[in-house]
Chain A
């Protein structure tokens, strides 16, 4: 689910196992409020990126972010998703529109995420 939220694709079985292995080896436990927040993110995928966006603003070094970062690294170090991480030829106008759209979407998600974080005690 984390992979789908981050890149819109399901991970392979190998990637799933690598992520679990990495979380264990890098010792990324969650406790207290972060654990509750993480459970909500997994239960309601539609808020996952919103909470991640909000945390990027208010708690960028949180353990939840570290888990997302770890999954992102696992997904990048795989030939299956190389197209999402290697530079590609695109019309300049499309690049600009894409960047602006992502920035706008990111900002809106972050606002929503702030509400979710505030509601999670």
Chain B
């Protein structure tokens, strides 16, 4: 998003990227809806299970469990090139063309004014930036009870896609007792998704084929590589692939950027008038720690804890699932505690089908024969509630660089992430409240699966925004303290992560920072 703001402005903009891409599966996945493919394609095993059966992973690896073989390139090269060493934190990072934006869940959520302030972001400029991003990527949604935390004041929003039957019952149950739920602080409504329901910029509206975890056919789901393709086609940026940026050094009139060539041909140095870092909070932490020569320094770390609750809706037992439905979460629930400074609770609802039944079967503590029968019968009634918890930060949660002989950079990111007893209690309380409310909606949680820390794939806070210019902080414009020409356009500066998706805010902030950099270039 920063590249889009900077590119095509008359400046020479270079994008350094490792740029891993899918070279296998894009041509294997046929057009068509999930049910038709499942009942007709003899070659479906190739992409559903993977050429190397990588889609039949057995290790308990819930981080990134939604990564299907066609999305496997998102994490290619990560363990070897940018290793993480931790017993408590298990992040998912990407070196792919377009980064993790190639596989995000499309949920769009504006931060409230208080959330922006807590995070260290200026409310006014962010509101404008949200609209710029919405106009670029295309968002669909509805002005309903959830809109305050999804769409906010965004304009030019496309209509929400049709709601699937599995979740229509949930919404109907809420609407029958809306007043009572609202009085208790609960609001349920349509998610805002970066998913087109009308044509835009050569991209097609969603067909509801429920193949979105396997293919980007029609480009109806916004993926960051779509923007990079467009920028390159326009000649707005120079794209330098196969480079892993390792460090920078600021000089009198420029920034020297060092990158490791991924083809093994050595190091490369480039010079720029400005450097905008946006590999993600963890990637930026690595580069900054090396550049300032303090690899062992502990930087703070924020990440939303994430729990998902598989549930059963008895009203849906024995129903068929419509052939066409979107793969993404179409329904969202909020609880606003009512007291000043209280944390909202957000739950996103999904039905389950296109990630295949065998993955659910292993969660049942019975033999596969009987577990398959049970899950097959329950499939249409299955609903998953995904819950993020906030992170206000804690000194015990940190990242630093430790020596690592096997790493091409000679180091690895060491991370520690633990919740205090109070934080865990608060999270447990939120989950219990959600479970009670779900039961009142006729949706019965079977269990709460607390994913490993890092599984939310929401990271921030490693270089928190601060007014005092302290080392390893950012100023309000995103400029790295101690530098004149280095800016950070990812989540590194966020001092707080509310319990909601952060991608739209990250994109908006990236645009804001880049727009500010542009101003400094014009000012000389």
A: which residues have CB within 8 A of B?
5-7, 14, 18, 21-22, 25-26, 28, 49-50, 52-57, 60-61, 65-66, 68-70, 72-74, 76-79, 82, 84-92, 94-96, 98-99, 102-103, 105-107, 109-110, 113
Contacts and interface: CB of A to CB of B under 8 A. Distances in A.
Contacts of A86: 35, 38-39, 321, 353, 379
Interface stretch (B52-60, B149-157, B282-290): B52-60
B63 interface: no
A117 to B, nearest CB: 13
A4 B200 CA distance: 50
Question: Of B41, B321, B370, which is in contact with the most chain A CB atoms at under 10 Å from its CB?
Answer: B370
Contacts of A18: 45
A23 B320 CA distance: 33
Nearest to A26: B53
A78 B367 contact: no
B42 A79 contact: yes
Given A56-B371, A79-B39, A105-B370, A73 B356 contact: yes
B52 A78 contact: no
A50 B374 contact: no
23 contacts: A49-B367, A55-B367, A56-B364, A56-B366, A69-B358, A70-B58, A72-B361, A72-B372, A76-B357, A78-B45, A79-B44, A86-B321, A86-B379, A99-B373, A99-B377, A99-B378, A102-B366, A102-B370, A103-B370, A103-B374, A105-B370, A106-B367, A113-B367
Contact of A92 (B42, B317, B321): B317
A61 B38 CA distance: 28
A69 B318 contact: no
A65 to B, nearest CB: 8
Contacts of A66: 58
Which of A61, A70, A77, A94 has the most B CB atoms < 10 Å from its CB? A77
B362 interface: yes
Given A7-B372, A79-B41, A109-B370, A70 B56 contact: yes
B23 interface: no
Nearest to A52: B367
Contacts of B380: 87
Interface in B343-402: 353, 356-358, 361-362, 364-374, 376-380
Nearest to A96: B317
B319 A87 contact: yes
Interface of B: 35, 38-42, 44-45, 48-49, 52-53, 55-56, 58, 60, 314, 317-321, 353, 356-358, 361-362, 364-374, 376-380
Contacts of A53: 366-367, 370
A66 B319 CA distance: 31
Q: Main SS of chain A's interface residues?
A: helix
Contact of A72 (B53, B321, B368): B368
Given A73-B56, A74-B49, 15 more contacts: A6-B368, A26-B58, A49-B370, A56-B364, A56-B366, A56-B368, A61-B58, A65-B368, A69-B58, A72-B361, A77-B49, A77-B356, A82-B38, A86-B38, A102-B377
A76 to B, nearest CB: 5
A88 B116 CA distance: 46
B356 A89 contact: no
A95 to B, nearest CB: 5
B57 to A, nearest CB: 8
Most buried by A among B35, B49, B52: B49
A107 B40 CA distance: 35
Contact of A22 (B49, B356, B362): B49
Contacts of A85: 38, 356-358, 372, 376
Given A69-B362, A84-B372, A98 B377 contact: yes
A15 to B, nearest CB: 9
B38 A84 contact: no
Contacts of A68: 367-368
